[in-house]
Amino acid sequence: MGAGAKEYPKQYFAASALASALGYPLWRAAAIGQSGFQMNSIHVGGVAVPRSVTPYVYGFLPPYKGMVATVFGMTWARASIFWMSDYGHEVLLNQGYSKSVATVAPPLAVSALVQVLNQPIVRSTVTLQDPKYNLPNVFSSIRQIYATHGVTGLWHGTTAGILKTVPKYVTAIAVKDIMEETLPQPDPSSPTYESDRFYRTVIKSASAGVAGAALTNPLDVIRNEQFKTGTGIRSTVQQLWSEMGPKFMVRGLGKNMIAVAMPVGMTIFFTDLFVQQSIDEEHKRSLTA
């Protein structure tokens, strides 16, 4: 992933779409857990589900509110960030910029822009998960936000979103690039070449996803709390600190590690897989031509 990104935009978007669809229930569980929404108790076989795992259960239960909008928003956002970052990395290196600049500058700029453009989708889909509103779909959520806070309400939490999204992707992409350079390349002549290549991609993808998710959990909590309360970032932090102290920074961490690390890691993994598959097919065609 990264080599020849310009030639493979379809593979990037296909990988992002697949990862987003698979990750929707996990995203929903994280949004509920980090926002501190009050969920009704769930009973399975007459036994109450522990509160600590209730968001996970809700995440997988219908109705899947905002699923189409959420998957669409995550798909175009992640695909744009990864593809433009990898393409930008190539362009900057070719223009003589250092590796550090070529690695950091593209995701820094692209993820900030994407976050601003995608904020209304993020805001409305997170709000949709709050049981107290009992909203049926994303359009109802947007109307609720607009009626309560006006058009600027759709971009409420953008600052926290940028502070969360930009470091997450800069970190994930930097780790991905570092792992790409440092992990040994599989030997094509080895009988275990295919499995070696597979496990190399798994290690690279998992490392990048975990690093990005762990760093930004506190900002996820702040952003989602802003969505719930409608307060500014400073007031939100003060309120969280007064209620929970420093523990607020790890609220929903386990859910975030799953909901963020897995989709980001899966996006990198599937992109590597799809791009490599295309390269292999092109190579076979060239041999038979």
Cβ atoms of 226 and 236 within 8 Å: the answer is yes
| Percent share of the chain, pLDDT over 90 | 57
Q: Which of 65-74, 231-240, 278-287 ranks highest by mean pLDDT?
A: 65-74
- CATH code: domain 5-39+49-279 is 1.50.40.10
Q: Taking Cα atoms as reference points, which of 129, 118, 123, 115 lies closest to residue 31?
A: 129
The whole-number pLDDT of residue 2 equals: 44
Q: Which of 72-76, 79-83, 101-105, 154-158 has the lowest average pLDDT? A: 154-158
Taking only the tens place, the pLDDT of each residue in 247-262 is 888 887 877 777 778 8
Give the distance, in angstroms, between the CA of residue 231 and the centroid of all CA atoms in the same chain: 24
Q: Which of 34-38, 59-63, 237-241 ranks highest by mean pLDDT?
A: 237-241
Cβ atoms of 60 and 22 within 8 Å: the answer is no
Vertex 269: Cα angle to 87 and 219 (nearest 5)? 80
For range 113-122, the mean pLDDT: 95
The whole-number pLDDT of residue 1 equals: 54
Q: Which of 1-15, 31-45, 67-81 ranks highest by mean pLDDT?
A: 67-81
Taking only the tens place, the pLDDT of each residue in 27-49 is 888 788 777 787 777 877 777 88
Cβ atoms of 56 and 255 within 8 Å: the answer is yes
* N- to C-terminal Cα separation, the chain: 26
Taking only the tens place, the pLDDT of each residue in 200-218 is 999 999 999 998 888 778 8
